[in-house]
Homo-oligomer: A and B are copies of this chain.
Amino acid sequence: MTIAQVAQRTGLTAHTLRYYERAGLMLEPPPRGDNGHRRYTERDADWIALLTRLRASGMSIAAMRRYAELARRGQGTYAARKELLEAHRAEVIAKIEQLRSDLETVDYKIDLYRRRIRGEE
């Protein structure tokens, strides 16, 4: 797969894919074709897809790099990887709770305006 195809598939830009590689997020730098262009494997694409989910859920580039480093070190790091993801999981859940709580304030305010528009206050 070319960089453009992976970009298409993952929703990232080619720029971002190169940036992620420089940032140490890949399991290994994708091999190059004769012309020096990156040739992504299916596994690369899957890995990047996972990265986009972690990213979308708020994981920092630095944390993803730590995760990638563990993954590169092989099977011995299952427990560490699990812990990293569990820590992230807790953060995501906390964030969801936070959002829900903030949403209540927004809802309250919306309702207030609704009543004011109807002339009740």
Q: Which residues of A contact B (CB under 8 A)?
A: 50, 53-54, 56-58, 75, 78-79, 81-82, 85-86, 88-89, 92-93, 95-96, 98-100, 102-103, 105-107, 109-110, 113-114, 116-117
Q: Give the secondary structure class of A's interface.
A: helix
**A110 CA / B82 CA spacing, docked (Å):** 5
Copies of this chain, whole number: 2
- In the complex, the answer to whether A106 meets B75 with C-beta atoms within 8 Å is no
Evaluate whether A99 and B92 lie within 8 angstroms (CB atoms) in the complex, with A82-B117, A117-B79 already known. Answer: yes
Partner of A98, one of B50, B56, B116, B117: B56
- In the complex, the answer to whether A53 meets B105 with C-beta atoms within 8 Å is yes
